[in-house]
Amino acid sequence: MRPFMPRYALKVEYHGGPFAGWQRQTDQPSVQGAIELALSKLETRDHKIAAAGRTDAGVHGLGQVAHCDLEQDWDTFRLSEALNYHLKPNPVAIVDCARVSDDWHARFSATERRYLFRIVSRRAPVTHLNGLVWQVKQALDVDAMQDGANFLIGKHDFTTFRSTICQSPSPVRTLDELRVETAHGHYGPEVHFHVRARSFLHNQVRSFVGTLERVGSGSAPPEFVKTALEARDRAACGPVCPPHGLYLAAVGYPEDPFARTET
């Protein structure tokens, strides 16, 4: 039996551009690898952290959650400050830290994941948002995209909308929310997709957005989404959109480990 080691939950924000994804890689930079290296500066040994979700290369994190086990009893503020110091110059930040119980798990204790996808509609190349949004040149019909998105909400076989290399044993998932809305940004009209479920298949959100963009651009009617879903065939899916507009926005738990009690 391993000696008792205090467990800490970390809320992580990162720019996915420089990384080959969240998961540790032997020959490429990863978000997990950057955090584990920072932890080794605090306690000199190999570290292995677990996360709520494994984002792909280029995907960003606003509210990724991970946990780590440490030998010392760290003050949570000092731990987050020390990690942020050693994470430099990586575009990764520990935005919150909390002590959790020994059986709490960033992945298995989670009850929902929330993703945000951002599209900017404008013809001129984006500069300040380069790598942070998917740019399309034409205006998109948000109402039509929402009509198409409504066919996806609920429990379905999402074979059409998952990668051919997805390792999940089942394509069945329950999608709790897929909301499409207009956001008026400084750099052009934005369309935001808010997606919520307990768990997701590989490339599921990017497959949703790529298919719905065809509806929004007028290339297909909203019913195209229903037909694609019922086909249960990857070939029926629209183009998978690029990763850099996607953000892991938040992770839900039965009790928020980062909640502070006001006194």
The answer to whether residues 95 and 208 belong to one domain is no
> What is the rounded distance in angstroms from the CA atom of residue 79 to the CA atom of residue 67?
13
pLDDT of residue 127: 93
* Claim to verify: residue 147 and residue 241 sit in the same structural domain: yes
**Structural domain for 101, as ranges:** 7-108
Cross-strand partners of 177:
196
- Tell me how far apart the alpha carbons of residues 183 and 41 are, in angstroms, rounded to a whole number: 41
The model's pTM is 0.95
Residues comprising the chain, all counted = 263
Q: Is residue 188 classed as helix, strand or coil in its secondary structure?
A: strand
Query: Which amino acid would we find at residue 97?
Result: C
Q: The domain spanning residue 132 has which CATH number?
A: 3.30.70.660
pLDDT (tens digit, 9 = 90+) per residue, 220-239?
A: 999 999 999 999 999 999 99
Ramachandran assignment for 154, one of left (phi > 0), alpha (psi -120 to 50 degrees), beta (any other): left
Rounded distance between C-alpha atoms, residue 177 and residue 209, angstroms: 13
Whether residues 87 and 162 share a domain: the answer is: no
Q: Does any domain span residue 257?
A: no
Could you tell me if residue 77 is inside a domain? yes
Whichever domain contains 26, its CATH number is 3.30.70.580
The verdict on residue 186 lying in a domain is yes
Where is the domain boundary, 59, 75, 108?
Answer: 108
How high is the pLDDT of residue 1? 52
Indicate if 196 and 246 belong to the same structural domain: yes
Compute the distance between CA of residue 46 and CA of residue 40 in angstroms, rounded to an integer: 6
Do 151 and 78 belong together in one domain? Answer: no
CA pair distance 237, 125, nearest whole angstrom = 27
Nearest alpha carbon to residue 167 among 201, 199, 196? 201
C-alpha 154 chain-centroid distance: 20
Domain finish residue from 58, 83, 108: 108
Contacts of 5 (CB under 8 A, 6+ apart): 69, 70, 71
- Asked if the structure places residue 2 within a domain, the reply is no
Question: Based on the domain organization, do 118 and 191 belong to the same domain?
Answer: yes
| Bridge partners for 113 per DSSP | 197, 251
pLDDT of residue 3: 65
Q: Is 56 a catalytic residue?
A: yes
- Report the number of distinct structural domains present in the chain: 2
pLDDT tens digit sequence for 12-64 = 999 999 999 999 998 999 999 999 999 999 999 999 999 999 999 999 999 99
Does the residue 259 lie in any domain? no
Shared-domain flag, residues 100 and 205: no
Which residue stretches of the chain have pLDDT < 70? 1-3, 261-263
Domain boundary among 93, 108, 123: 108
Marked catalytic residue, from 27, 46, 56, 103: 56
